[in-house]
Each structure stands twice: as C-alpha cells, then as structure tokens.
C-alpha cells in the first residue's frame, strides 16, 4: 500500500446516489498494482472529516495508472466526493486488503453475485476472469429498481442476468432468485453485497457444493489493521492471537466462506 495524492480525471453521477470517480497517479508517482476485490482509502478534502472512506476498486488500468471507484453517496464524507472535478487532487491510501485469487478460478464455471453497492468490485473480477482461458463467467446483478448501473460494462466480460426487488427489470427478487430461475450451475461463487445476502449465498454454496468467496463490507477507520474496528467472527481460532476474529481490512475483505461465521 502507498499513501499519495491522486489526480481526478473523471467524476460523474451514474444513477440516483451512485457516482463514478476515476483517479490517476500524479506526476512522478507510481500506482501499485491493484487486484480484484481490493479497496482504497479516500480522504475527504474537508478537514472536519479526518478518517478515510474505504471504497472498493471497480476497475484498475495499469497503462493509465488509474483506478475507478463506483460508490454510493451515503454520508457527509462520501458526499463530499461528488463535488470533485477533473484536475482536483485527492489524498489516497492503497491498494488495501486481500482480494480474489483469479488464477485459482481459471478453467472453472464462475458465478459472480453483486447486490447493490456490492456490484462495482465484481466488475474488475469479471474483467480479470475473462482473460483466463477456459473460464466461464456469469454475473447476476441485484438492484432495487430499474435504475441500473454498470450492467452494460459487465456484458463485455460475462453473461449477465439482472434481479430487481420490485420486478421492474429481469427477475423479481434477489440474485439467488435469478440463479434458481436461470438454473445456473457453478464451480465457484464470488459475492459482494449486504450481510443478509452473503449469509444466503454462503448457505446456497454449501447446499450446491460450490467453492465460495465472500467480500465483506464493514465500517473501517484505519484500513491497515491497527484499530481493530472491522473484525468479523471466524470459524477457527487464530494460532497466534487465540481469538476467533479476523480483521476485514487486512485478512479480507475477501474470505473463503467456510472461514467466516456470518
């Protein structure tokens, strides 16, 4: 990870409270490689908000030395990013966390499940998997209503199905409803979304026998494992600390579903 000042190259609203922000490394700076499932800490420019805002990485462009973030403006900190314009500068810490092991999924049938703001991090994963020979990728995206975002971009890398809570587009229900309706089979399931969804996905994977990896969403203060504010319960005791906890910001945010107690 590296703390640096990034340059805003694009900032726009996608739908409702969902925004897209693209940052590139400034002159003389080098962005470290970012893997799918990792995140970064973005620091509001307002001095009243000192803590970083952890936001998952949506796309990584090595050639352009840039990262794209798609986020929901949910509070004062993230809402401050919506006023950014090309040419502005933003303090950045990252890439952070442990993401998905793409090579482990090579040659397999992979099902990506994204719910709400859990959709963006799955786009970089879909892009990376599409470059793995023999890998079949299906993405099921879950939205509240017809205000879809990123769907067309996913279609460049995967077969895409949509579920909406109100039934306005695609399957009425959630991502698992759509998986059942489409009779989707998978060797590996990767999911990111709200906790009730992740619990259901874990149970679904256990029932179908698929390997499952979950990206957990937790409130974070430091992003580097120091504050212990983002711990999650695990199914096994750590040999060093002798506790049944793991830090989402460092041991995760991506976990083998068998290793976390949801």
Mean pLDDT, residues 95-117: 97
The residues, any chain, with a CB within 8 Å of residue 259's CB and separated by 6 or more, are 234, 235, 236, 246
pLDDT given at position 205? 97
Check whether residue 69 and residue 111 sit in a common domain: no
Which residue has better confidence, 18 or 50? 18
Q: How does pLDDT run across 36-67, given as a tens digit for each residue?
A: 999 999 999 876 567 889 999 999 999 999 99
Beta pairing class for 39-42 and 53-56: antiparallel
Least-confidence region, from 60-74, 104-118, 152-166, 242-256:
242-256
| The pLDDT of residue 88 is above 70 | yes
Check whether residue 137 and residue 195 sit in a common domain: yes
Q: What is the CATH number of the domain that holds 250?
A: 2.10.240
| The pLDDT of residue 214 is above 90 | yes
Measured between its terminal Cα atoms, the distance across the chain in Å is 28
Mapping DSSP to helix (H, G, I), strand (E, B) and coil, where does residue 165 land?
Answer: coil
Check whether residue 118 and residue 152 sit in a common domain: yes
pLDDT given at position 95? 96
Check whether residue 164 and residue 203 sit in a common domain: yes
CA 245 remoteness from chain centre: 21
Answer with the one of 96, 122, 150 that is the final residue of a domain: 96
Mapping DSSP to helix (H, G, I), strand (E, B) and coil, where does residue 227 land?
Answer: coil
pLDDT given at position 67? 98
| The pLDDT of residue 240 is above 70 | no
Q: What is the CATH number of the domain that holds 83?
A: 2.40.30.10
What is the average pLDDT value for the chain, to the nearest integer?
Answer: 93
Entry pTM: 0.94
Q: How does pLDDT run across 216-236, given as a tens digit for each residue?
A: 987 777 877 788 778 888 887
Check whether residue 71 and residue 50 sit in a common domain: yes
Q: How does pLDDT run across 198-211, given as a tens digit for each residue?
A: 999 999 999 999 99
Q: Are 139 and 114 in contact (CB under 8 A)?
A: yes
Domain assignment of residue 255, given as a range: 218-262
Nearest-5° angle of CA 6, CA 79, CA 227? 70
pLDDT given at position 26? 86
Q: How does pLDDT run across 108-140, given as a tens digit for each residue?
A: 999 999 999 999 999 999 999 999 999 999 999
């Amino acid at each position: 990870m590296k703390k640096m000042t990034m340059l805003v190259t694009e900032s726009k609203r996608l739908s409702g409270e969902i925004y897209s922000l693209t940052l590139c490394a400034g002159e003389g700076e080098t962005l470290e490689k970012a893997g799918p499932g990792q995140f970064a800490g973005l620091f509001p420019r307002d001095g009243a908000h000192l803590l970083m805002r952890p936001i998952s990485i949506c796309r990584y462009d090595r050639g352009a030395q840039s990262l794209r973030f798609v986020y929901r403006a949910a509070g004062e900190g993230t809402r401050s990013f919506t006023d950014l314009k090309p040419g502005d500068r933003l303090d950045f810490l990252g890439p952070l966390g442990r993401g998905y092991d793409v090579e482990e999924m090579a040659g397999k049938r992979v099902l990506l499940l994204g719910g709400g703001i859990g959709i963006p991090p799955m786009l970089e994963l879909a892009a990376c998997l599409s470059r793995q020979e023999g890998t079949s990728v299906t993405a099921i995206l879950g939205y509240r209503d017809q205000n879809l975002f990123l769907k067309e971009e996913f279609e460049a890398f995967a077969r895409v199905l949509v579920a909406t809570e109100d039934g306005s587009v695609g399957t009425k229900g959630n991502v698992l409803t759509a998986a059942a309706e489409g009779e989707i089979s998978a060797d590996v399931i990767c999911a990111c979304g709200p906790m009730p969804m992740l619990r259901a996905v874990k149970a679904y994977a256990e029932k179908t026998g698929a390997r499952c990896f979950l990206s957990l969403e937790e409130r974070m203060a430091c992003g580097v494992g120091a504050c212990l504010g983002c711990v999650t319960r695990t199914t096994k005791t750590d040999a060093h600390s002798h506790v049944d906890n793991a830090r989402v910001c460092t041991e995760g945010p991506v976990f083998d579903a068998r290793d976390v107690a949801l």
